[in-house]
Structure formats: C-alpha cells, structure tokens
Amino acid sequence: MTMQNSAMAKNWPHGKDLRTGRFSGTGRIYLITTCCAERNCVFQNVALGKIIEDELKHSDNAELTRTLAYVVMPDHLHWMFELIRGNELHSVVRRVKGRSAHRINKIVRRTGRIWQPGYHDRALRQEASLETVGNYVIYNPVRAGITQNINDYPLWDAMWINRKRGVDDLGYKRVT
C-alpha cells in the first residue's frame, strides 16, 4: 500500500476495502453510488441537484465519460456511465464530486464537506442488459416513495428514453 493509500485508509473507515479489486478500464461501464456527508438531504433542493446534472454533462463534454443513466436522490447519486479516453475511475468520480461540492458551497455560502469520502462502484458486463440496470437506477425515487411517477421527479435521465415522451409507472419506456 502506498503512503497516500495508507493515509486514506486511516481517514476512511474501511477505505482500503473500498479500493480492493478496483480498476479502471477504458470502454468499461460502471455504476457508482456516492452519498452526501452524514446522509444530508442536500439535493431536496432541486437547484442544487441540477448542479450534479451539470457536472455529469461536463464530464461527458470533456470526453471523460459517456453517461448512460443517472438519478440524483435527496442524499446520494447513482450514475451509470462508460469510462472513455483512458481516464481513471477514481479521478473522474473525484472530479465530479469536487467540482459539484465547490459550486454548491459557493451557492449556499458555506464551507465543508458535501460528499462522504469514497463511493461504491460496480463494473457492468457488456452482456448485462444495460437498459434494465439503467431503468432500475432511474426508478429509485419511486421505490423510495418520493414520487409515484418517475415523470414527476426532476433529477434523472437515461440515454434511451426521450424525456418528452416519458416512461410509464414501471420505469420502462412508454410505447405510444
């Protein structure tokens, strides 16, 4: 373990375990979950959640990622994306979290941590139905009881869904 990893493992409970077996692969699809510090419901304020959406788009525009689906929950983020251009998974996640935290703190005129250290990641196999996993991701607000219809929740998207047409109450594309 390097000095930096050793220091991080001391600061983060189970920090070493979070990194066990983690690697970055260009072209690989990841599903990450990262939580707000102390599980604060920062993103009940939709305007602050829009900052996260903006940072995900920024990551895509910088050709770091290709976002497939996401949902910004009141106290956490689920983000499914393809890692592109040889970028490191940890660097991309750190960049999105750092940039969004800086912007949020500036808007709410405070300092301090927005995000918990670390994140959970899962590399998805190409054989897995990405649309099925993505629909599961975006349907989180309905399962959590925040809304009865995903179309009423403002902080989600999936590349295979035309937001103007929406989705039905099961989280799948509405056929018209």
Higher pLDDT, 82 or 15: 82
Q: Which of 77-86, 110-119, 155-164 has the lowest mean pLDDT?
A: 155-164
Please state the rounded mean pLDDT for residues 148-165.
86
Q: Which tops the pLDDT comparison, 85 or 128?
A: 85
pLDDT at 42 over 60: yes
Alpha helical stretches, state H, 76-139: 89-108, 130-138
At residue 23, the pLDDT reads 64
- 39-46, long-range: CB < 8 A, 24+ apart: 39/75, 39/76, 39/116, 40/75, 41/74, 41/75, 42/74, 42/75, 42/104, 42/114, 43/72, 43/73, 43/74, 43/75, 43/155, 44/74, 46/154, 46/155
- How far is residue 96's CA from residue 80's CA, in Å, rounded to a whole number? 13
* Alpha-carbon gap, residue 30 to 93, rounded angstroms: 11
Domains of the chain, each with CATH number or no CATH: 24-158 (3.30.70.1290)
| Segment 17-43 mean pLDDT | 82
pLDDT at 152 over 50: yes
pLDDT digits (tens, 9 = 90+) for 71-103: 999 999 999 999 998 889 999 999 999 999 999
Instruction: Give the SS3 label for residue 149.
Output: coil
CA-CA-CA-CA torsion sign (157, 141, 24, 54): positive
pTM here is 0.81
The span from the CA of 157 to the CA of 106, in Å, is 26
Q: Mean pLDDT lowest for which of 20-34, 70-84, 100-114?
A: 20-34
Least confident of 14-23, 34-43, 56-65, 109-118: 14-23
Mean pLDDT of 43-58: 97
Q: What is the percentage of the chain residues whose pLDDT exceeds 70?
A: 77
